[in-house]
Structure 1
Amino acid sequence: MKNIVKNLISIVFYCSLGAITATLAQTSETSVQRSKQVSILFVGDVVLDDLPGKAIEQGEDPFAAFEKIFASADIRIANLECVVATTGKAAEKNFTFRAHPRVIPVLKKHFDAISLANNHSGDYGPTAFSEMLALLKEQKMAYFGGGNNLSEAHRPHIIEKNGMRIALLGYNEFMPRSFEANIHKAGVAWSEDEQVVRDINAARQQYKADIVIPFMHWGWENEMTANQRQRQLARIMIDAGADAVIGGHPHVIQDTETYKGKPIIYSIGNFMMDALDNEAQTLGWAVRLHLDQNGVKAWDTSIAKINPEGTPAPQSNTNSPCWNKTTGLKTSCENTQIP
């Protein structure tokens, strides 16, 4: 009888231990799922062909002042507003930008990927654009928003970080449209609405992305608020499944809004260039999104003030916009370098 009781006690003990172990394992798994968090930082137009390019040639790093702010994010993204090449012929337009290949290691030091979808990456023609793609691939500098053909230009760049898959798409919709990639020509991704929707769907379904963020090149220069086309397209992208929309090109900071609980930041302004026309063009944002598997839970900004040499410096004593999904309110936060 004693042996029977002893065996029953042992069975109950081990069953209870198994249940506790299973519960702890499940709790641990849930905790891991909840802890999936990533921060991603975007900066606006970066032109490296003139004074910033000469600084790099002389061994200087024009991004150095932002190193601490860059280090506060898991992922860093920029719009490269020039072609990087030694070949090609300048297009017939007011401004053409071509940087030397020596700038690529500096870009790679600070950024995880760059967008090529803009109105200057084609300034020296398809040959120079193709040279840039080859140089970037050779030095393992990731890019998106451009490619050797239409399919490659519209392919999302996938970044895996902290157990999450983040898809980045880049689009230009500012002339000249001749820079657009086609089936047989290298170039940038153009933002045809139907194609954008297909790309976002493909990022989710084909590439299994948890988060999808389009980085846009749109709007009119020097306008401080987004126009109707920007607002319309932003909504189309979020309706298609984008988690946030980040924009640039107007060379000034524009307004922001929230649509269906998802942030739209219409223009983050310039970040590095010396061809500036007015005071508003000397200011830009480094915007940092805080993500979990459900999307953007908050964003904050650091102001970049560009000097006459085209080099940005953070304005640590100035407050700038921030947003939290919990409150749904945009407020003003300390322009900080908090990790």
Structure 2
Amino acid sequence: MKNFLLFFTLFVLGVTLSAQDKLKMIFVGDIMGHGPQIESAAIEANKLYDYSPCFQFLKPLLEQSDLAIGNLELTLPGKPPYTGYPTFKSPDELPLALRAAGFDLLVTANNHSNDGGLIGVQNTIKTLEKNGFYQTGTFIDSSHRAALYPLIVYKGNFKLAFLNYTYGTNGIPNHKPSVVNLIDEKAIKADIDAAKAHKPDAIITVVHWGDEYQLAENERQRALAQKMLSWGSTMVIGAHPHVVQPIKNYPLQEADGSTRNGLVVYSMGNFISAQTKTYTDIGLMVEIELEKKNGGQESAVSSQPSAISSPQTVISKVEYIPVYRYIYRPAAGKPVYMTVPVAAFENGEMQAQQPMPETTRAAMKQSADVIRKNLTQHGAIERKVSAKEITIPTEK
């Protein structure tokens, strides 16, 4: 009888373990705060702002994910003056709108981290924390970094480790005691080793790097990416160039002889900005699915409990969604900066809900097709978003 109960228990356990747990993440590129964006969002200058229209057509997509991650390339000083380039200081209503749109985690190590001085670094962290975000890359002080880095995030049945670094801070030194993570290979390897000690299902390294406005990654990016993958990163997600760069897979040989694919997204371009240079109005949302596959399904019905092996976490799906920074200019009132999925807008399906001039649609599609071609030649797959998927219900 005992043997039967043991067999039955292990059989049920085997069935449970054979279920393939999945986690869907969405990554987006540079969230900028140029002067025209600040003016557009102002209801009462220096007092009240509304950024919710910026993300209304992406909220349905972000809400489909288990975890939505963005690169916040600005500071939140908590008080005016609010400024755009070259020192980005935005009002606190921006992260409020990002949270309402569905973002969960914002990385803050970038070349504009120090734009707002010590108050900018520290208040950005505190404001994001107050609004319920996970955050990493910059820190109140060294003790704060020691306590919370690597950032460990639990979501469903997954345990994830996040790391974040920038190539520099535009020559503005760190304002002590705050800390901004800089790219330093020795430090990154040590941080990846520290992350591995937590035994996460995935290590996600987000890096601010590369040459601005270049549609291809440079050799330094390739070399660093492959090092970080070899040290243990599951994926490397890039930002900074303000244009889209390739998505690539690199086969890696593990110490036990097995192989895995290391994913690198070199640059997702801008998510939202007021930049006007070629291709800076096109960015990506990158959907990445992690899946736990049970390697011990057969052994789970064995008479030996120790024979049950741990599930293996793999990257099971990678798809990109091209997005476009659209400046809607109503007949009356101020321009509205918003980000929209290209596929749902390029054929005019959204005209009734959100007008877009035909010339703008044509320019958007032309730029998006250049990006699509660049991505497709490296094997990246687009997820086509339909108008139905993002239609905002009308209030009755």
Q: TM-score normalized by structure 1?
A: 0.83
Match of residue 42, structure 1, among 24, 27, 38:
27
The answer to whether the 8 A contact 2:140-2:178 is kept is yes
In the superposition, relative to structure 1, how do residues 16 and 131 fare at CA in structure 2: closer, same or farther (>3 Å)? closer
The answer to whether the aligner puts 1:299 opposite 2:291 as a matched pair is: no
Partner of 2:242: 251
Partner of 2:57: 65
How many residues get paired?
314
Partner of 1:78: 70
Match of residue 162, structure 1, among 152, 156, 159:
156
Question: Equivalents in 2 of 1:108, 1:194: separation in Å?
Answer: 34
The answer to whether the 8 A contact 2:284-2:322 is kept is yes
Deviation at 1:221, TM superposition (A): 0.5
The answer to whether the aligner puts 1:288 opposite 2:287 as a matched pair is: yes
Partner of 1:277: 276
Q: State the secondary structure of the residue aligned to 1:72.
A: coil
Question: Equivalents in 1 of 2:92, 2:85: separation in Å?
Answer: 23
Question: Equivalents in 1 of 2:380, 2:134: separation in Å?
Answer: 34
In the superposition, relative to structure 1, how do residues 254 and 128 fare at CA in structure 2: closer, same or farther (>3 Å)? same
Unaligned runs of 5+ in 1: 1-13, 324-328
User: In structure 2, what residue type is equivalent to 1:164?
Assistant: F
The answer to whether the aligner puts 1:201 opposite 2:193 as a matched pair is: yes
Q: TM-score normalized by structure 2?
A: 0.72
Partner of 2:121: 129
Deviation at 1:165, TM superposition (A): 0.5
Question: Equivalents in 1 of 2:145, 2:173: separation in Å?
Answer: 11
Deviation at 1:122, TM superposition (A): 1.3
Deviation at 1:72, TM superposition (A): 2.2
Q: State the secondary structure of the residue aligned to 1:238.
A: helix
The answer to whether the aligner puts 1:222 opposite 2:271 as a matched pair is: no
Partner of 2:342: 315
The answer to whether the aligner puts 1:30 opposite 2:22 as a matched pair is: no
Unaligned runs of 5+ in 2: 44-49, 252-260, 293-312, 328-335, 347-368, 391-396
Q: State the secondary structure of the residue aligned to 2:58.
A: helix
Cα offsets for 1:139-198 (capped at 9, x unmatched): 3322111101246457122221121101111110044253547xx421421010010111
Partner of 1:233: 224
In the superposition, relative to structure 1, how do residues 30 and 87 fare at CA in structure 2: closer, same or farther (>3 Å)? same
Question: Equivalents in 1 of 2:24, 2:234: separation in Å?
Answer: 14
Cα root mean square deviation, aligned = 2.9
The answer to whether the aligner puts 1:335 opposite 2:384 as a matched pair is: yes
In the superposition, relative to structure 1, how do residues 159 and 321 fare at CA in structure 2: closer, same or farther (>3 Å)? farther
Which structure would you say has the larger Rg? 1
User: In structure 2, what residue type is equivalent to 1:258?
Assistant: N
The answer to whether the 8 A contact 1:247-1:266 is kept is yes
User: Quick one: percent identity of the two aligned structures?
Assistant: 22
